[in-house]
Amino acid sequence: MKTGRIIRSLSGYYDIQTAEGTIERTRARGEFRKSGQKPLVGDFVDFESENDEGLIWRIHDRENVLVRPPVANIDVAVIVTALKEPNFAPNLLDRQLVALAAANVTPMIYFSKADLLSDAEYSQATTVAKQYRAIGYQVILPQIDQADSAFAELQEALAGQVSVFMGQTGAGKSTLLNHLSPELGLETGAVSKALSRGKHTTRQVTLIQVADALIADTPGFSSYEVFDFPAETLADYFPEFVSHRQACRFRGCLHLNEPGCAVKAAVSLGAIAESRYNSYKAFYDLIKAQKPRYNTDNRNF
């Protein structure tokens, strides 16, 4: 029996990379389908292989899992966030940060298109970057005309990690991936063309070795479209709320209309950014308005 990480899935086959660096092609045992399990790219698995044909016998416990893209055991998700063209949208960034926290994935914020900013706009971007660093997020804000140092900082942060990239259309994900590796850039371009031809195109995730890192070759990421947790737990995913809420007058304070709320007091004092609190209120209302989602995978007929 061997152990390795799935780095590619395609048409029922799984390519597994072992600790020695070899790659072996396998299929999953039928028992997985019967039990509702499915191996994902990023999974650590036990498998047997002989004459280039193998079988996966066991999937190790996962640290985390994302639905779109379908990948497991992610060390870091890089949120590529445009500062201009399109303009910076704090609500979207906060939405992505919350979704990653709920999935137990560590985020990293990479602010792109800093070279398009005026001096005054860059000063404001610096203030925003400081706000998110103060919360505890890792933030990379390239200095104007010094993008190479930011790329080097990103490469160093990704060394030895498994990562995915996410961000809105036009944020510069493809450019960033292409700078990290031409192979990643080519993959991204091919995906973009395929998706423009047909909305039902299926995308397979592949982990590509880039120096000492494994990077998912798809920048597509839409797991933040719906929040799959109760509104009452939303504050758990705002780290700065967690550090203040112990002082709330009422246990179970939702930080909305309750008197004696330490979170709202912190917003008034500037200890919590008003934009973050506005995002919290918007997300709370969004979750409350969502229709219940039912798992239909195991329906009985």
- Give the residue ranges of the annotated binding site for GTP: 112-115, 167-175
Query: In whole angstroms, what is the distance from residue 148 CA to residue 150 CA?
Result: 5
User: 53-59: long-range contacts at Cβ-Cβ below 8 A with a sequence spacing of 24 or more?
Assistant: 53/25, 53/26, 53/27, 54/16, 54/24, 54/25, 54/26, 54/27, 55/26, 55/27, 55/28, 55/29, 56/14, 56/16, 56/26, 56/27, 56/28, 56/29, 56/32, 57/1, 57/29, 59/32
CB 173: neighbour CB atoms within 10 A?
25
Strand, coil or helix: 67:
coil
Strand, coil or helix: 170:
coil
Question: Distance of CA 3 to CAs 59, 185, 209, 267, Å?
Answer: 10, 30, 18, 50
DSSP states of 92-152: HHHHHHHHHHHTT-EEEEEEE-GGG--HHHHHHHHHHHHHHHHHT-EEE-PBTTBHHHHHH
Please report, in range form, the residues annotated as the binding site: 112-115, 167-175, 248, 253, 255, 261
Q: Which phi and psi (to 5°) does residue 69 adopt?
A: -75, 150
Q: Which residues of 106-145 are buried (b: 16+ CB within 10 A; e: fewer)?
A: ebbbbbbbbeebeeeebeebeebbebbeebebebbbbeee
Please report, in range form, the residues annotated as the binding site for Zn(2+): 248, 253, 255, 261
Query: In whole angstroms, what is the distance from residue 106 CA to residue 289 CA?
Result: 28
